[in-house]
Amino acid sequence: MRIRKGDSVIVVTGDDSAATPRKVLQLLDGGRKLVVEGVNRVYKHVRRGHPKSPQGGRLQLEMPIDASNVLLHCPACSHGTRVGLRYNDEGRKERYCKKCQATLSTVGAVRPAYAKKSE
């Protein structure tokens, strides 16, 4: 729930580590593995007549990496950051940047029990 499909992340370890944000394409294994755009690319050799490559040859695929090897990219402070969860004033859960406290996105519906009481 902390990192979702479509988020921009920064890879911090491995051969493809760089400070450039990349997009998460797919979540696997309950969010513990991620397929990130342009990271951990491998060649798969396919025979002739394969549906994706009828003439055969080598396909370049992106393989999953562990979720602990990436940090979510915060657009407010433009750094890789850890993600926290909190409830806002209306009682909606939101993801936030632990460095600059900026809201990244909201998660789920409004829960009145968690709304701030106005006195």
**What is the residue extent of each domain of the chain?**
8-114
Q: Return the CATH number of the domain spanning residue range 8-114.
A: 2.30.30.30
Q: What is the pLDDT of residues 1-60, one digit of tens each?
A: 589 999 999 999 988 888 899 999 999 998 899 999 999 999 999 888 878 778 888 889
**pLDDT exceeding 90 applies to what percent of the chain?**
62
pTM given for the model: 0.82
Q: What is the pLDDT of residue 1?
A: 58
Q: Please determine, for residue 70, whether its predicted confidence score (pLDDT) is greater than 90.
A: yes
From the list 28, 17, 22, 30, the residue with the least C-alpha distance to 6 is 22
Q: Are the beta carbons of 73 and 10 closer than 8 angstroms?
A: yes
Q: What is the pLDDT of residues 83-106, one digit of tens each?
A: 999 999 999 999 999 999 999 989
